[in-house]
A and B are shown apart, each in its own frame.
Chain A
């Protein structure tokens, strides 16, 4: 019988700064080439297969890693995020996705002139 693939919601932190929003996602075991990030019609989607570890001559006796699974999570992104301002980095099983805010929303300093 074919085993049904399980979807896993990765844990995320989303932090707001003055000119950008940064999303951190836990994706242990995911390689850069397997991580798929798409942004379409205001929906940001993260997907990556969670490969089960295989060790020659060893049998899996405890835990859940043997089951085929995939990380998958979608977010509705505010229209105040610049669609061209995304930058992603994957290190130690953590994705860091930086999203720039649109220029109009970034804080501006208005100089005061003396008369």
Chain B
């Protein structure tokens, strides 16, 4: 009872000023980790390789699973949030925990020997080298 009183009287005045902004709602949904359980994905393409980038803050590398079959790359993982326990009092709870999965189909067959993955600052980067036969070939023209 007292706890609840204290919480309501003193520890609920966390007003996010940004939420008062008229565009806040739109930005909100655009950026959420788990609106559809999907972390933000970006793809970069070049002649030699393709880079896939996934925003997964707070995810441990041992909880990320990357698999490649034919021309499909699947990145699966689970975000475990240690603070999200039943006996904890939340004044605000927006971060989503749980599993996620993203599938990317590439225009070439993926060679599992030609994939590199790196995780830093909550961002996973998967670099996929294009196979030799699909790399554009440069033909030198001889001038006599």
Contact = CB atoms under 8 A, between A and B. Distances in A.
Interface class of chain B by DSSP:
mixed
Most interface-central of B40, B56, B122, B123 (chain A CB within 10 A): B122
Contact of B10 (A13, A29, A94, A105): A105
Interface in A10-48: 11-17, 21-22, 24, 26-31, 43
Contact of A29 (B84, B90, B123): B123
Interface stretch (B26-34, B70-78, B108-116): B26-34
Q: How large is the interface on A (under 10, 10 to 19, 20 to 34, 35 or more residues)?
A: 35 or more
Interface residues of B, number: 54
Interface string A61-100: 1111110000011111110100000000000111000000
Interface of B: 6-7, 10-11, 13-19, 24, 27-28, 30-33, 40-51, 53, 55-60, 81, 83-84, 88-96, 119, 121-123, 125
Interface of A: 6-9, 11-17, 21-22, 24, 26-31, 43, 53, 55, 57-66, 72-78, 80, 92-94, 105
